[in-house]
Amino acid sequence: MTSSLPASPLPSISPPADSVAARLAGVRARMSVACRAAGRAPGSVTLTAVSKTQSPEAIDAALTAGQRVFGENRVQEAQGRWRPRRAGLPDLELRLIGPLQTNKVADALALFDVIETLDREKLARALADRALITGVAPRVLVQVNTGAESQKAGVLPDAADALIATARGLGLTVDGVMCIPPVAVDPIPHFDLLAGLARRNGLAVLSMGMSADYEAAIGCGATHVRVGSALFGERNTV
C-alpha cells in the first residue's frame, strides 16, 4: 500500500509515534469498505493490533488513538509490555496469538483475555486444570493449520472437530477458530475452510486475515483480523 506520509530519511523498525494514528485510521477505513462490499455492517469486525516487538511510543500512540484490542506472540514479552499499562486500561483486551507452551499456561491466563492458539489436547487439559484452580475458564480459539505445514502450529483440519469437542468437554469456553494461511498462496480457500469448520461447530469467532489479506478475510466472514505491519511498520525480528 502506498503511504501518503513523508518518507523517513533513515530506515526504522517502527514508524514515528504520530504516524501510528494515521495508519490506524487507514486500516479502519479499509475494513469498513471491505465490510460494506461483503454486505456486512461497518464496525462488525474487530481489529487486533499485533504489538509484538513494537516500541513503547508506538504502543502508546495506538492507545491514544483509541485502539484497545492487541495481540501478542510471546507471554514473557507481553508481560513486560502490558503489566505496567493494564491497571489504567479497564477496556483493554489482550489476545495471545502465538504458540503456548504448557509450562506458561498460568502466566498466560494471568495476563491474556483470550488464548487464540489452542492446538492440542495436552494444552487443553493444562488450560482446564488451571481454570479449576482459578475458578475462571479461559476463552480460547482453536488454531487450525489449514495448509498442513510441518513448521507451523495448529491442529490439522481433519482433527479440528475432535479437539473442539475435547476442549468443550473439559469445560473450556471455545469462542471460535483461527488460522494463518501459507505464505504466497491464495488465502481465500483457507479462509473458507476455517469458516466452514466454524459453522459446523456452531462457533461465532473467526480470527483470520493479517496485514496483506485482511480485506479478503473480511469478505470470507472474519470477525477478527490481526494487523501488525500495516499499523506499525515492519517489526524488529532481532
Dihedral sign of CA atoms 187, 174, 197, 101 in order: positive
Look over the chain and give the mean of its residue pLDDT values, rounded to a whole number.
91
Using pLDDT thresholds of 50, 70 and 90, give the confidence band for residue 179.
very high
pLDDT for 16: 55
Averaged pLDDT, 106-113: 96
**How does pLDDT run across 53-76, given as a tens digit for each residue?**
999 999 999 999 999 999 999 999
* Residue 166, pLDDT above cutoff 90: yes
200-236 tens-digit pLDDT: 999 999 999 999 999 999 999 999 999 999 999 876 5
Looking at residue 144, what is its pLDDT?
Answer: 98
To the question of domain 17-232 being in CATH 3.40.630.40, the answer is: no
What are the start-end ranges of the H helices in the chain?
17-37, 56-64, 75-86, 105-111, 121-134, 157-169, 188-200, 214-219, 229-232
Contact 194, 202 (CB under 8 A): no
Q: What pLDDT score does 1 carry?
A: 39
pLDDT score for 236: 57
pLDDT at 69: 98
CA angle at residue 164 from 162 to 42, to 5 degrees? 140
Looking at the DSSP assignment, which residues form a beta bridge with residue 47? 225
Torsion of CA 51, 56, 61, 64, to 10 degrees: 100
Give me the pLDDT at residue 35, please.
Answer: 98
* pLDDT of res. 18: 54
Dihedral, CA of residue 14, residue 99, residue 111 and residue 20, to nearest 10: 20
Give the per-residue pLDDT at 93. Answer: 97
Q: How far apart are CA 119 and CA 228, in angstroms?
A: 23
